[in-house]
Amino acid sequence: MNFSPVLLITDVLLWLLVFAVVGYVWYVRRHEHLLVPWLKVRQNPVAMICATVLVAYAAIGLADSLHFRTASGAPGRSQTGVEVRSVLDVLLGAALGPMAGKSEKTYSAPLAIYSFAKETVEKPGGGQAREFPRLTVGGAHLKNPGDRDGDIAWRGALGLAKGLVLFAVLNGALALWVGRKGGGPALAARAMWRGTTPAPWRPILVTLLLICLMACPAVALGSHYHLFGTDKVGQDVLTISLKSIRTGLVIGTLTTMVMLPFAVLLGLAAGYFRGWVDDVIVYLYTSLSSIPSVLLIAAAVLIVQVSIDNHQDLFPTTLQRADMRLLALCVILGATGWTGLCRLLRGEALKLRELDYIQAAQAFGVARLRILTRHMLPNVMHLVTINAVMDFSGMVLAEAVLSYVGVGVDPTTNSFGGMINAARFEMSRDPLVWWLLAAAFFFMLGLVLAANLFADAVQEAFDPRRVVRRARPRIFQRGPVGGMTEAAEDPRAPGGRPA
């Protein structure tokens, strides 16, 4: 069996963004003025916990961004399959087995072995009756339905044991990596758990332990039961939730990358050139801000959808059409969401252009483009970095809201908003179908909360005003007779002298 790769536009852009982040890390490590704020982020335990969670989400999303088709047959006569799969589909199929696909008829509750809706079934002795039928796959290994609770407890305990083993392997690998420069893995592991290393490894290890203790029991139970139940058409909700992570990551990252060029270029140009350039740009983002964003995005999405429907020959598969709509949504969100950052950068540029070094560069005849790129842009990058990290979670929530109202991603694309929209129609039925909404809430909460807390740590490290407020109380201390004596050196003062 051969594999034929399938290149989706969002896959290519997402992996290019990963390589760009790797290049940025390599660049930061060689420039101390950029490295110092990130070292402060690394020393923040909450930031490292959130970074660990975000890396786990990113690993799932990137695994779902490698698509391929399978080709079977004799050499030279192989036929390429129509279905497009991803690496995540293969991993879920290996871990969950038949649970990963569409295996049931309709709704089933979490860890249930019976369907959620009654059906007319034929009795062995003849006749018909209305009852809850057994699920096709979920709990099918149980011959006696009364053994369900004991089987769940046993498989859950076995999953916890496997989680501890997996964490021990990860802990050993990290100890080998930390102790590679000296001391050995045993000393490194002891220092990591005692918290005597420069990086807060203990919170990271505790987070990894919790992830392992949640993931391994989920696999152990999810391979024989539907852990989060099934949806209206019988699909496993756990699989839908995991595949929705990629949509959230694509929306959060690509939208931010589309938004930043508009905000940076227009904001700096308005603040530096002033005059009619400033008037035009201010009029532009003021007019754009006055339009209701949901209506503007809905109109743009509908226009794109009509264009895609009229040119179906350009998109041979349903997946490619859905991917193009996802990319169009990212572009639309980015093209309409740059106004806040642009307004902030304009105010910062108005302040920077009056400083002495900008005035000196103008007096020496330095080109305007060079002043913008060499002198002003580096001094607003802390604002750009802070807003880029903070806007990520906002875009993930925006996708959920737009999909909820029906103008988000394609209905065939798994997303948290689509799950919430599907649960909306079942919230009024009795008994209540609650697990779709609960699963979307759980996974979205983990992603958005981790992104928000990490953004707070980045803002605290990059915002110079916060650095000043923290450094100022350490300059003086109360002397032995009650007076104030100079005690600490201000690192911002030349020569290390007290400010």
Spans of all domains in the chain: 1-72+83-141+224-467
Please name which of 222, 223, 243 lies closest in space to residue 86, comparing C-alpha atoms.
243
Pick from 293, 295, 158, 268: nearest CA to 221 = 158
Q: What residue type is 43 in one-letter code?
A: Q
Q: What is the pLDDT along the chain (499 residues), one digit of tens a residue?
A: 567 888 888 999 999 999 999 998 998 888 887 788 888 888 889 999 999 999 999 999 999 999 888 765 545 554 555 678 889 988 988 888 888 777 788 888 888 888 887 777 777 777 777 787 888 888 888 888 888 889 999 999 999 999 999 999 999 999 888 888 777 788 888 888 888 888 888 999 999 999 999 999 999 998 888 889 888 888 889 999 999 999 989 988 888 888 888 899 999 999 888 889 889 999 998 888 888 877 888 888 888 888 888 887 777 778 888 888 888 888 888 888 888 889 999 998 888 888 888 888 888 888 888 888 888 888 888 788 888 877 888 888 888 788 777 777 888 888 888 888 888 877 777 778 888 889 989 998 999 899 889 988 888 887 765 554 444 433 334 344 333 333 444 444 444 444 3
The answer to whether 64 and 14 have CB atoms below 8 angstroms apart is: no
- In angstroms, the CA 179 to CA 459 distance is 31
The amino acid at residue 3 is F
Rounded to an integer, what distance in angstroms lies between the CA atom of residue 107 and that of residue 104? Answer: 8
Q: What is the largest CA-CA distance in the chain?
A: 100
Considering only CA atoms, which of 327, 325, 375, 374 is closest in space to residue 354? 375
- Report pLDDT for 72: 54
Task: Specify the pLDDT at position 408.
Answer: 79
- SS3 assignment, position 128: strand
Q: Residue 73: its pLDDT value, please?
A: 52
Give the Cα separation of 200 and 287 in Å (integer).
47
pLDDT at residue 179, as a whole number: 82
Per the DSSP assignment, residues forming a β-bridge with 108 are 230
Pick the CATH number of 1-72+83-141+224-467 from 3.40.50.720, 1.10.10.10, 1.10.3720.10, 3.40.920.10: 1.10.3720.10
Question: Which pTM value belongs to this model?
Answer: 0.83
With CA atoms as reference, report the closest residue to 134 among 125, 121, 147, 153. Answer: 121
Cα-based torsion angle of the residue sequence 117, 122, 124, 130 in order, rounded to the nearest 10 degrees: 40
CA distance 290 to 292: 6
In this predicted structure, what is the pLDDT of residue 33? Answer: 79
Q: What is the pLDDT of residue 117?
A: 78
